Structure 1
Amino acid sequence: MKTELSFKLFIAWLGISASKFYSWKERYGKSNEHNGQVPRDFWLEEWEKAAIVDFHDKNPLEGYRRLTFMMLDNDIVAVSPSSVYRVLSSAGLLQRWGAKPSKKGTGFVQPLKPHEHWHIDISHINICGTFYYLCSILDGCSRYIVHWEIRETMTEAEVEIIIQRGRERFPDVAPRIISDNGPQFIAKDFKEFIRIAGMKHVRTSPYYPQSNGKIERWHKSLKTECIRPGVLLSLEDARKVIAGFVRHYNTVRLHSAIGYITPEAMLEGRDKQILKDRDSKLENARAARKAKRRRRLSCTPVANEINLARPSPTGARKLAALPN
């Protein structure tokens, strides 16, 4: 160095590492492009990208591979299919063939009328230390409990009997049966029963009970609100207690998922009238409160005028003491 200082001392004065100093020294006199994007010879030019987009606009129904070779044959631009794909993709002009939004995780299309979907599931209840099977059928639209039974066993034939008794209560319906993948529901005889009955059967995703969440929620409500708070003394006592809760659930208890209406009212189609009556009552109450406030405000000025016309005794004495 011309200053006759050692590099080691100079680097110490600068307060940088030796590797950084020698890297700077090696790049001295060169353009500072070490972190910049280095253009490649095979990169497409802007006019080529514009030609690809323009040709696509003239042939919008053709795929990007067919467009590539059409442009080659017509001497428009010579590029590879992958380059055409990247240009069209960055321009937002590519569409996947037959692409449809995924319905995974969205559940079933919700029924619009009663008896379109019947959810069925098997749960267990503990009665005096013995576990029994509880099978319930719930209407997907109204949340009405169509039928339920407690049994010591729950074979495929017994599930058929439970569904048939539900159908006897509503003989003119042919609902879609929604169940999990229990052994009773995947049996060959059960499939034949569904076919003969003129119904359809849909099984939910394995190990995903949320798929059949309506009936799962019913069993949870039954256990937390009916079974666990009390003591079931016998099988007959359990049937009696659960029957009373089912009546309460269907006819009295307001269900939050259907607008705080009873399942029976929803099943019978009285939900719209109930909601209309509620809105009418609220509107009448608002109108009554508004009229009452107006009456109160209209009375206030009159009272003030009366008070001004009749001053208090103290005020009268003060007025009399004033000089004429």
Structure 2
Amino acid sequence: MSHANATLTPTGSLRLARCVVEGGWTPARAAERFGVSVTTARRWAGRYRENGRAGMIDRSSRPHSCPHRTPRRRERRVVGLRVSRRWGPARIAYHLGIHPSTVHKILSRYGCVRLATTDPATGAPTRATRRRPTRYEHPAPGDLVHVDIKKLGRIPDGGGHKVHGRAKGRRNSKRGTGYWYVHNAVDDHSRLAYSELLSDERKETAAAFWRRAYAFFADAGITVRRVLTDNGSCYRSRAFADALGPDIKHKRTRPYRPQTNGKVERYNRILLEEWAYARPYTSERERQALLPQFLHYYNHHRGHTALEGASPADRVPNLRGQNS
């Protein structure tokens, strides 16, 4: 298809061809008049002689034949291995002696779904094969808050293995470096997050964290109605139930199914990638001091794919300091 500023649109090509075929112009004169090459003028004149006005439409640039294309028989072998043995592109490529990218193109050309979106036992497509899967999301902030704990090793003074290398920076339990227990709470609708570095995951600690998290959400104008946690002992305790109070419904994930609490699990990954392991730190104090800065960036400025590029502050108008 010709672009908007093309010299030869279908109408322009027709005028050029008529000047040569019907007007008796030479291809050189017509090429100079329309600002194209002589070869182009001859090509459009030839199409007009063969097909008339219908020949002035742009044709596909796809070649009529491709001698280097994978033979049809080998393509059928690729698809057959995918269906019968459920192999991935790399394994099929190694078996047949061709490049994995070629196998991937063949599978895409024949509409083979990804292995991750099929049932492991039967190979039948699952609901995840939809091109735009439905993302569950509660309609308002506070309808559901995901709560979880992430265990994080502390950095010894002078830096760990990212600074000194794996051998010298190896953790030494006798030095008492220990661990942080990062308690996290993430709102389902807005992805607004609240995190604290605490020394343990006992029931009293989890209960106290939730009281402060609840105050954080309340300060942002969010009324929490439900909380989702895993089945850890601290969350099954009476202390945590008392911290929730009678107005907040407590939901728990299915055993051994962390995907049920997927939003906070994804937040844990972002926390590690963009703060905890974002760069080499020389001490735990240095990393700890940057946590508030990361939380501010995450809540106020970081665009989220699930929010179509918006930040949590864009979905929580009452969030303090959102314009800073």
Q: TM-score, normalised by structure 1?
A: 0.47
Question: Greater CA radius of gyration, 1 or 2?
Answer: 1
Task: Return the structure number with greater relative CO, CA threshold 8 A, min gap 6.
Answer: 2
Between structures 1 and 2, the one with greater helix share: 1
Normalised TM-score (structure 2): 0.47
